Structure 1
């Protein structure tokens, strides 16, 4: 379940309480008249079944609560009571599949912003990826993609395209492009330094191992990128972090960026071109699959929203 806290102007309290009392998916309703100081008003608390959270939040916004008050939502680890079980059963669907759109939008908007910490992680991921390519070490390549936060802006781009939020699309595009440029730049510096110091492993060969695989995209590149984009969006929608880790490992944006830098440093233009195709195709296909997944989920939500209004 989720815990809902509403601060609303006194003249709205009666309507808000009536709304929450009239929804079978709520429980533990508490009203604290005059308890709020900034903004001033009444405080209303309740627990909400996750399946109906977005519907109730939309109803609260329609009442104008956020115009002079606020809405906060947080996860409840345990809600043990007969009435809580009743509220959960009253909400159609399964808790595990429930999507709280407001939290998804807030999370992706934050992850899509360009920040120093984001660039630092991208730079560190680039250094790890270069090391993995030069040593043909799968563990290091997996470590690089897990360290990288590049899926956040891609998810933000999917949400922005679906919701037609131009600012979010712009922020996500800027973060993606700048982040990948930083990755290529750092990887190039590391590759040049390793080469200048004579530290390139004797066994390294562009035509062997992971370097060759990344530089030669094929049909499986498209299959994996599409599946990863859909799985990544589903993991964000349902807050299943375990699936997201698998997505990060499947997407080869960071290894491909590092491969571009490595190939350019060694003047291996064919390898650089292949890696660039791998990189671009991964980004485009992940965004397409993620956006398609959101479109399907949003259509289901809109149908449920119409049924909810018709009660």
Structure 2
């Protein structure tokens, strides 16, 4: 269930109440006349089944409530109510399959913003991966994958393509490109420092690396894994099962490939630099393609489910 807290201008309150009452899957409607001060108006509270949430929010936006008042949405962790159970049973489809498009857009917008924190995370992840590459340490590679925040912009691009939001797409592309560019530049400087103090050696990079050699050996399996991870990551976002994102993060070789390319560039190893860059691009393309197709499929199947109801 979702909990909605609305601030409505007095002249719009009856329309809002009517919309909520006509939406199948709503419960616990509360109206507090004149309770809001900024912006001034009435406060309307209600719960709605997740599968009916997107339609209700779209209707509220058509009434202009996002411009003249406020729409706040929270997930309800626990709701002990027979009325809530009835509302969920009446709503079409399954809550786990429903996509809250406004929530997805907002989440990806936040995660795809080029911020100091985002750049710090992707840089630290790339530096950790650089250590893993030189030491041929798979544990460090997995740790770097988990730290990397690059799935946010990738999901932002997919969401923007499906929802036709060019500003979100542009923001996501900037975060992705600038983030990796800064991370690889700083990792190159980090590698030079580590080499100067005797902790990195060219011989270690070019030695036989059974645990991390796959990073600069892109093949069709790399693309297949990226596609599968993209599908899983997108489903985890749309179904609010964020725990699955950790598994997605350690399934693809984006950050490790960027790290390998940066270290190889420092040592003028053209072969590893090029092949690592190919691995990076292959994974990025696979995730974006899979994410976009997954969202399109969810949009299609959910519309068909709504028509059946």
What TM-score do you get using the length of structure 2 for normalisation?
0.95
Structure 2 residue 35 is the aligned partner of structure 1 residue 22: no
CA offsets, 1:220-248, max 9 Å, x none?
A: 01110111111111111111112111110
- Whether contact under 8 Å (1:206, 1:212) holds in the other structure is no
Greater CA drift, 14-23 or 24-33 = 14-23
- Whether contact under 8 Å (2:98, 2:302) holds in the other structure is no
> What displacement does 1:70 show?
1.2
- Whether contact under 8 Å (1:29, 1:47) holds in the other structure is yes
Q: Flag the 1:296–1:205 CA change in 2: closer, same or farther, 3 A.
A: same
Q: Flag the 1:263–1:97 CA change in 2: closer, same or farther, 3 A.
A: same
- Whether contact under 8 Å (1:55, 1:305) holds in the other structure is no
- Alignment RMSD: 1.7
Unaligned 5+ segments in structure 1 are none
2:35 alignment partner, SS class: strand
Q: Flag the 1:218–1:285 CA change in 2: closer, same or farther, 3 A.
A: same
> What displacement does 1:219 show?
1.2
- Whether contact under 8 Å (2:93, 2:305) holds in the other structure is no
Unaligned 5+ segments in structure 2 are none
Aligned length: 308
1:200 alignment partner, SS class: coil
Distance 1:133 1:214 in 2: 9
Q: Flag the 1:305–1:69 CA change in 2: closer, same or farther, 3 A.
A: farther
Partner of 2:270: 269
Distance 2:251 2:135 in 1: 20
CA offsets, 1:141-178, max 9 Å, x none?
A: 11111111111011111111111111111111110001
2:126 alignment partner, SS class: helix
Partner of 2:166: 166
Distance 1:14 1:206 in 2: 73
Partner of 2:213: 212
Distance 2:96 2:116 in 1: 34
- Whether contact under 8 Å (2:138, 2:212) holds in the other structure is no
